[in-house]
Amino acid sequence: MVLVYTTIFCVSVGGLFYFVFWTTARFADEQVEAAIQADVSGFQDSYARAGIPGLIMAVNRRVDPASRTDGIYILQDSIGNVLAGNLGQWPGNVRIEDIWVNFPIRDPNTPEELGSVRALQFTVPGDIKLLVGRDVRSSTHFREQLLRSLNIGLAFTAALGIIGGFIFSRTLMRRIESITRTCRRIMSGELSQRVKVTRTSDELGQLSLNINAMLDQIERLMRGMQQVSDNVAHDLRTPLTRLKSRLESAARQTHDPVTSDAIEGAIADADSLLATFSALLRIARAEAGSQKSFVDLDLGTIAEDVADLYGALAEEKELTFVTDIQPGVQARGDRNLIAQALANLVDNAIKYTDTGSVSLSVQMRNNRPMFVVADTGPGIPDEFKGKVLERLFRMEQSRTSPGSGLGLSLVAAVAKSHGLDLTLSDNNPGLRIELAFPAVEPKRLPPPAKAIEDKSQERAQPEERPAAAE
């Protein structure tokens, strides 16, 4: 963009420079022709007063070095004899039918240098020819010098334009990059960040102020929504929990099978409502998560905990549960959210797979740590792979199977807050889901063996297991 604007600026300045050159050169040529015509008028007056002798005397006065040095004159009779002037002979390349002519001459003082003459020729009665001209070397040198000066000025203008444009663009880009970095940090969950305002007098300063005002309003609205969500959570979960307790108490006291079945159904519905509401709250917290809570994670340990939790469920459905956990794979993130997301993926894979196998692997690919969960179930058609990440979306429109349609929504929210790539693809048959972390730097050389043993003893502590998936 800087080069484009610099090119436009240089073309504009160049056009102005060459317009000045053309008008100046044209003015100089017109001055030469005006001087020649003035001489011709003087010669015509001399011829009118004294005839040919008077014309010869007028030409000889003009060629006097003391009076003029740049005039070129020659008066020649009909047989070619030079009657007066400072040329030894009539120029050979001048045609009789031309009025204004140009021809070169050699300077007698400097024989090696050729001069250029602009002249006017005409015929005097008696078949006598007169040629009046001017040596235009000084005018030519002036044009050359002017052109050289304009070219140098244009080169300086281009250089200053490029340097100034580069400095201006770097200053502008630094401010834009600062705004971009702040926006990225805000999108990652740091809602308290604001754009740094260095100057308020220009457009970028006003834009930064408006962005900060917009962010203040967004933060107020989000805090208000979060407060409303928390209030709703307390206001609804408490009566739902009490309702469930009363229903359980009523189920214990009743002996009517029909009434007991109805109460059990109501208890199941209350559990579903509580689970759905808890899932929505977890999604909201995941989307508003901050990287300040991120720590170094051992993905293998998280995968093993999830495998232990859901291995028994896979055995109950007579599924083959396969794990392939590469040791030493680490990444940064919120452990609870990452564990919950992985648990949701494994839970969905087991839930929707009737026969075959479910696999869970931790691996490094292209220097990126990732979880891979694959199954041999019915899979997801391509047209629904984007929609299943939306809240409350279920491929089963009748909604007769258990679930709230929030499992993959929570995974998508965790992936967004952590900067992960969530990929759904066909496993042929079944579904394959990859949860890829950002690329990590190459590992340094390991510490001595004793230090490794000490650190392993420090890490040998029980870790919190993930909550049940929705």
Give the start-to-end residue ranges of the domains of the chain. Answer: 2-141, 203-284, 291-459
* Strand 330-333 with 368-375, pairing: unpaired
Domain range 203-284, CATH architecture? Orthogonal Bundle (1.10)
Distance, in Å, from the CA atom of 172 to the CA atom of 9, rounded to the nearest integer, reads: 19
At residue 342, the 3 state secondary structure works out as helix
- Lowest-confidence region among 144-148, 199-203, 433-437, 457-461: 457-461
Q: Residue 441's pLDDT is what? A: 67
The pTM is what? 0.47
- Do the Cβ atoms of 275 and 404 come closer than 8 Å? yes
Answer whether residue 458 shows pLDDT above 50: no
| Residue 438, both tokens | 């950002």
Distance, in Å, from the CA atom of 43 to the CA atom of 229, rounded to the nearest integer, reads: 108
At residue 465, the 3 state secondary structure works out as coil
Q: Residue 350's pLDDT is what? A: 92
Any residues with CB less than 8 A from the CB of 162 and at least 6 apart, and which? 2, 3, 6
- Do the Cβ atoms of 121 and 129 come closer than 8 Å? yes
Domain range 2-141, CATH architecture? 2-Layer Sandwich (3.30)
| Two domains, one topology: 2-141 and 291-459 | no
How many Cβ atoms from other residues are within 10 Å of residue 229's Cβ?
Answer: 15
Answer whether residue 300 shows pLDDT above 80: yes
Answer whether residue 272 shows pLDDT above 80: no
Query: Which residue is it, tokens 């050699």?
Result: 106
Q: Residue 304's pLDDT is what? A: 93
Answer whether residue 470 shows pLDDT above 50: no
pLDDT band at 468 (very low <50, low <70, confident <90, very high): very low
| C-alpha neighbours within 13 Å on the C-beta side of residue 91 | 26
Length of the chain: 470
Answer whether residue 433 shows pLDDT above 60: yes
Domain range 291-459, CATH architecture? 2-Layer Sandwich (3.30)
Q: Residue 395's pLDDT is what? A: 59
Percentage of the chain exceeding pLDDT 90: 12
pLDDT digits (tens, 9 = 90+) for 366-396: 899 999 999 998 888 888 887 777 766 665 5
DSSP letters for 322-378 = EEEE-TT-EEEE-HHHHHHHHHHHHHHHHHT--SSEEEEEEEEETTEEEEEEEE-S-
Distance, in Å, from the CA atom of 310 to the CA atom of 203, rounded to the nearest integer, reads: 57
- Lowest-confidence region among 12-26, 66-80, 197-211: 66-80
Answer whether residue 436 shows pLDDT above 90: yes
